[in-house]
Amino acid sequence: EDQVTQSPEALRLQEGESSSLNCSYTVSGLRGLFWYRQDPGKGPEFLFTLYSAGEEKEKERLKATLTKKESFLHITAPKPEDSATYLCAVFTGTASKLTFGTGTRLQVTL
C-alpha cells in the first residue's frame, strides 16, 4: 500500500526565516508527486508536479525538489501570507487516485 509521511506536522516561522518541509513516500511505481497548499475552509490549491528524481520546480518563494524517497518544499524568506497547510500527494502507475500525506501546518509571523 502506498504511504506518504509529512514532517513536521506543524511549523512556526518568523517572517524571513527560511525552512524546508519534508514529504517521504513508499510507493510502487511513482508516476508523479504533487504539492498543494490548503487554506482553512478551502480546497487544495495546486502548486507543483514533480515526475522524476532530480527534478526541481520553483514559484515565487517556494521551491520543490524530488529524490527517489522524498520530496522537499523549501520556503525562502516566507511572508505571513504563506501561512497555510501544505499537502504532498503521490500518483502511482497502479492506481488512478492521489494518496495524500496529512500535511504540514505552516504559520509565519511578523
Interface contacts to another protein, rule CB under 8 A: 31-32, 34, 36, 41-46, 49, 87, 89, 91, 95-103
For residue 77, the minimal CB distance to another protein (Å) is 26
Q: What backbone phi and psi angles, to 5 degrees, belong to 80?
A: -55, -30
- Only one residue has cell 490549491, namely 45
**Short-list 88, 75, 76, 84, CA closest to 107:** 84
Show the cell assigned to 22.
519534508
- Only one residue has cell 492506481, namely 95
Indicate the residue among 78 and 103 with the shorter CB distance to another protein. Answer: 103
Indicate the residue among 35 and 75 with the shorter CB distance to another protein. Answer: 35
Indicate the residue among 25 and 34 with the shorter CB distance to another protein. Answer: 34
For residue 110, the minimal CB distance to another protein (Å) is 28
For residue 87, the minimal CB distance to another protein (Å) is 7
**CB proximity list for 5: less than 8 A, separation 6 or greater:** 23, 24, 25, 101
